[in-house]
Amino acid sequence: MYTPAPNRYDAMKYNRCGRSGLMLPALSLGLWHNFGSVDQYNNMKAIIYTAFDRGITHFDLANNYGPPAGEAERNFGKILKDGFNAYRDEMIISTKAGYYMWPGPYGEWGSRKYLVASIDQSLQRMGLDYVDIFYSHRPDPNTPMEETMLALDHIVRSGKALYAGISSYDAQQTREAVTILKQLGTPCLIHQPKYSMFVRWVEDGLMDLLGEEGVGCIAFSPLAQGLLTNKYLSGVPAGSRVGRGLTNGAIGEGDITPEVLGKIKELNSIAAARGQSLAQMAIAWLLKDERVTSVLAGASSVAQLEDNIACLNNLSFSADELAAIEMILMR
Ligand SMILES: NC(=O)c1ccc[n+]([C@@H]2O[C@H](COP(=O)([O-])OP(=O)(O)OC[C@H]3O[C@@H](n4cnc5c(N)ncnc54)[C@H](OP(=O)(O)O)[C@@H]3O)[C@@H](O)[C@H]2O)c1
């Protein structure tokens, strides 16, 4: 029987999500990888328990996480059922719909038909009555924005989710979505964009908009799927995401170009001078922007998770450090 650490809230930092009443941990745990049928159940459980013991209250899922799609929700549901559910009121669980999930015209994108069916399936897989945050996983160019936002509003009003979010919407799409949700009376809680030292599109208007509108931001793939760590410095480890030769949007050998490797090495030296691992510096670098509510990282082991959490020991940067990092990234 799992008993969480009594001091679990002592060291974690909690940030307000935009102008909402909800606080999120500075570091959240993503279940995109490492929670599928190919992964070890005991390892998943250890990762989830360690996260919770260290104050990570937020677990992020989506209908299609696995593999196969749905399996991450199923495994998380199993962990909940095995006793973790006793702490449900201390957790923020999110899920999403938008990518391909089942065949036919109603199994992906942003129709009301798909989103409502998908949340019902997600709740069933996880054995939950509600999730805390439900996201439109990606904008749908062929469904009116009003329909997708009405579906989010409906899902919240029907009690299947407490808050609504959007993911990977550009600044213009976000403005539209936020305006409609505000009119409907279900404010947009949070935006989940890809954001890391290597992927910075959000700096071109989106972050300003989120700040102005009081919408929170949770940055996904903050470690560029593992590139922004020390793991690929001297080759590709067999068990790594690249080493496993995964498909479904995972990075591969082709992403570790000599140019990328050069940058990782230089960034790693700056991190070492700060007394941090590169993973810790990559997370801290995102948290320096107050509009970033939380950084959403994945982990394939407890050791990685512990490493990432220790970023909290040094979140501040000198102007010189920031300039040196910028020089490397801009090259
Ligand atoms: N909204 C969206 O469209 C979307 C898309 C993608 C992801 N997400 C969310 O964001 C979460 C994180 O994405 P991600 O998994 O791509 O994130 P990431 O945090 O950039 O990469 C995580 C991977 O990096 C490696 N790693 C983590 N910590 C490490 C450390 N301290 N040292 C060495 N290696 C380390 C592990 O890979 P190894 O397997 O190599 O050990 C781990 O699985 C997902 O789980 C999901 O919740 C959302």
The residues near 162 (Cβ < 8 Å, ≥ 6 apart) are 130, 131, 132, 133, 156
What are the φ and ψ backbone dihedral angles of 27, each rounded to 5 degrees? Answer: -120, 130
Q: Averaged over 68-80, what is the pLDDT? A: 98
Q: In this structure, which residue's CA is closest to atom 11 in ligand 1?
A: 30
Q: Averaged over 213-240, what is the pLDDT? A: 96
Q: Averaged over 237-250, what is the pLDDT? A: 87
Residue 306 pLDDT exceeds 90: yes
Q: Averaged over 84-89, what is the pLDDT? A: 98
Q: In this structure, which residue's CA is closest to atom 14 in ligand 1?
A: 221
Residue 247 pLDDT exceeds 80: no
Q: Which atom of ligand 1 is nearest to the CA of 303?
A: 31
Which of 220, 283, 308 maximizes ligand 1 atoms within 8 Å of its Cβ, making it the mutation to test the pocket?
Answer: 220
Q: Averaged over 244-250, what is the pLDDT? A: 83
Q: Is the CB of 278 under 6 A from ligand 1?
A: no
Q: Is the CB of 94 under 6 A from ligand 1?
A: no
Confidence category of residue 104, pLDDT binned at 50, 70, 90: very high
**CB–CB of 211/179 below 8 Å?**
no
- Return the domain boundaries, the chain: 14-253+279-314
Which pLDDT score, from 0 to 100, does residue 246 have?
Answer: 81
Q: Using N-to-C axis directions, what is the helix angle for 71-81 and 41-53, rounded to 10°?
A: 60
The 10s digit of each residue's pLDDT in 17-59 is: 999 999 999 999 999 999 999 999 999 999 999 999 999 999 9
Q: Is the CB of 58 under 6 A from ligand 1?
A: no
Which pLDDT score, from 0 to 100, does residue 248 have?
Answer: 78
Which of 174, 218, 304 maximizes ligand 1 atoms within 8 Å of its Cβ, making it the mutation to test the pocket?
Answer: 304
Q: Is the CB of 64 under 6 A from ligand 1?
A: no
Q: Would you tell me which CATH number, out of the four given (3.40.1390.10, 3.20.20.100, 3.40.190.10, 3.20.20.70), belongs to the domain 14-253+279-314?
A: 3.20.20.100
Which pLDDT score, from 0 to 100, does residue 244 have?
Answer: 87
Q: Quick one: residue 159, left, alpha or beta (phi over 0 = left, psi -120 to 50 = alpha)? A: left
Residue 209 pLDDT exceeds 90: yes
Q: In this structure, which residue's CA is closest to atom 42 in ligand 1?
A: 299
Two tokens, residue 270: 């700056």
Q: Which atom of ligand 1 is nearest to the CA of 220?
A: 10
Which pLDDT score, from 0 to 100, does residue 245 have?
Answer: 83
The 10s digit of each residue's pLDDT in 126-169 is: 999 999 999 999 999 999 999 999 999 999 999 999 999 999 99
Number of H helices, E strands in the chain: 10, 10
Residue 69 pLDDT exceeds 90: yes
- Comparing 69-83, 202-216, 241-255, 297-311, the range with the smallest average pLDDT is 241-255
Q: Ligand 1 mean position to 300 CA, how many Å?
A: 8
DSSP assignment of 98-128 equals -S--SSSTTSSSS-HHHHHHHHHHHHHHHT-
DSSP assignment of 162-217 equals EEEEEES--HHHHHHHHHHHHHHT--EEEEE-B-BTTB-GGGTTHHHHHHHHT-EE
The reported pTM is: 0.98
Two tokens, residue 216: 């929170």
